[in-house]
Amino acid sequence: SQQGEEDPQALSIQEGENATMNCSYKTSINNLQWYRQNSGRGLVHLILIRSNEREKHSGRLRVTLDTSKKSSSLLITASRAADTASYFCATDAGIQGAQKLVFGQGTRLTINP
């Protein structure tokens, strides 16, 4: 079963606006990760937030984590056309040494010039 569910499924905004994507999950986690995927290509890791962290920043990215609500959000500020991609959250359901990432359904973000 899917661990992460994301909303919205698709988001279209104007360049320069902020984009917010949300992710919900069902079980306890060690961390939650966000990845970006350009059309038909490999995924690129954006940011990792640990279960004992509430907020994390990286450049124009801001991630929050609410473990009581089992939810996370990704904010991209001052969006650019190059930010057009699919964004996935992923939680680790693995044990011991092996990661077992379970991805959410993803949000398709379109930045209009």
Binding residues vs other proteins (CB under 8 A): 2, 30-31, 33, 35, 40-45, 48, 50, 88, 92, 94, 96-106
Closest CB 43 distance from other proteins, rounded Å: 4
Q: Which is nearer to other proteins, 71 or 86 (CB)?
A: 86
> Is the link from the previous residue into 113 a cis peptide, with omega within 30 of 0?
no
Handedness of CA 74, 58, 51, 42 (dihedral sign): positive
Closest CB 70 distance from other proteins, rounded Å: 17
CB 90 within 8 A of CB 101: yes
Q: Which is nearer to other proteins, 44 or 78 (CB)?
A: 44
CB 45 within 8 A of CB 35: yes
Q: Which is nearer to other proteins, 2 or 12 (CB)?
A: 2
